[in-house]
Amino acid sequence: MQIRIYTDGAAKGNPGPGGYGAILMSENGHYKELSQGYRRTTNNRMELMAVIVALEAIKKPCDDVTIYSDSKYVVDSLEKKWLQNWVRQNFSKTKNPDLWKRYIKAAAPHSVKFIWIKGHAGHEYNERCDRLAVKASAQPNLHPDSGYEDQSK
């Protein structure tokens, strides 16, 4: 089974209120949108959170997951093997170690590849993810991003 995932993250103020948006599409026609807002977070955390939550939403192991992201932070961290170095260094001096550890667990059952796409360039699903992320970040009673808030204390 082939699954395509589109993701985006947003934060106002960076750090500030933020959110993520993700779209999952399978070859058999399944379509799902995911989004959530947080009261204090960063854009990079939300970009990565979108990827994680989308992978966690896949119910069975999949050998063909393609993630489209406009985040160089996320795509380069994985495609250029930075994450492997961070793991070897036990995440010493790595930003967002809580999310990277969660990513490793979420990605483990799948074969995942990343494709970088230019943000705000009219790509239908990237634009939709952006709207989902921005809308989620503007909701009342936002959730705490405990990984960020605990880290920044």
Residues annotated catalytic, as ranges: 8-9, 47, 70, 120, 130
Tokens of 30: 């399944």
Length of the chain (residues): 153
| CA distances, 89 to each of 6, 101, 131 (Å) | 30, 13, 36
What's the rounded Cα separation, in Å, for the pair 92 and 16? 25
> Count of CB atoms within 10 A of residue 146's CB?
10
Number of H helices, E strands in the chain: 6, 5
